[in-house]
């Protein structure tokens, strides 16, 4: 039997990070862990957006940082090809067709995607499949609240397992 590995002191790949955060876009708070649990993720495995993950290396518990993530390193630039016109006749009458409404849309393979209505015309509805934060710079304020070694199972799966898993 080997001793438990020493708990990590700084963020590195394969370390489980607990982090409080606030995300602002265009000076508006769009997401925050305040008043809730911190998020927990496995560093270096793409569990969070790449531009933020890259900035967290070598931070220690108790440290805070402001990080600006460009659209390209966040949710990507806006893809004009992801905005399509769909005939109104394809929408069931029960759906409210007005700009700003978000719909769950299923493609022919059964994949569910989110789309936001941009415009409603007489014959067609313009749907935008871009992420709502695509094309936006993301302003994060982060505070590291905990670090621990990942379990072998978490490393194998590439993400955190929270809550007691039965072994």
pLDDT single digits (tens) 93-122 = 898 899 999 999 888 888 888 999 999 999
Instruction: State how many domains the chain has.
Output: 2
Clarify whether residues 24 and 68 are in a common domain: yes
pLDDT single digits (tens) 42-99 = 999 999 999 999 999 999 999 999 999 999 999 999 999 999 999 999 998 898 899 9
Query: What is the pLDDT, as a whole number, of residue 6?
Result: 83
Buried b (16+ CB within 10 A) or exposed e, 30-63: eeebeeeebbbbbbbbebbbebbbebbeebebee
The CATH number covering residue 93 comes to 2.40.10.330
Clarify whether residues 71 and 141 are in a common domain: yes
Q: Which domain holds residue 106?
A: 80-128
Q: pTM for this structure? A: 0.79
**Percentage of the chain lying above the pLDDT 70 cut:** 93
10 Å CB burial of residue 128 (0-12, 13-18, 19+) is buried
Clarify whether residues 116 and 144 are in a common domain: no
In a domain, 166, yes or no: no
Residue 51: strand, helix, or coil: helix
In a domain, 1, yes or no: no
Comparing CA positions, the residue from 31, 37, 26 lying closest to residue 146 is 37
Clarify whether residues 97 and 142 are in a common domain: no
């Amino acid at each position: 039997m080997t001793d438990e590995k020493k708990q990590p002191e700084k963020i590195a790949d394969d370390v489980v990070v607990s982090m409080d955060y606030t995300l602002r876009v265009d000076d508006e708070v769009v997401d925050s862990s305040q008043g809730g649990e911190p998020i927990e993720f496995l560093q270096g495995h793409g569990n969070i957006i790449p531009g933020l993950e890259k900035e967290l290396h070598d931070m220690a518990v108790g440290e805070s940082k402001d990080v600006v993530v460009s659209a390209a390193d966040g949710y990507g630039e806006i893809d004009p090809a992801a905005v399509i016109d769909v005939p109104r006749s394809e929408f069931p009458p029960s759906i409210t067709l007005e700009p700003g409404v978000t719909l769950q849309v299923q493609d022919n393979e059964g994949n569910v995607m989110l789309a936001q209505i941009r415009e409603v015309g007489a014959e067609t509805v313009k749907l935008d499949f871009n992420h709502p934060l695509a094309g936006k710079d993301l302003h994060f304020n982060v505070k590291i609240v905990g670090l621990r070694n990942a379990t072998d199972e978490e490393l194998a799966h590439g993400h955190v397992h929270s809550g007691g898993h039965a072994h």
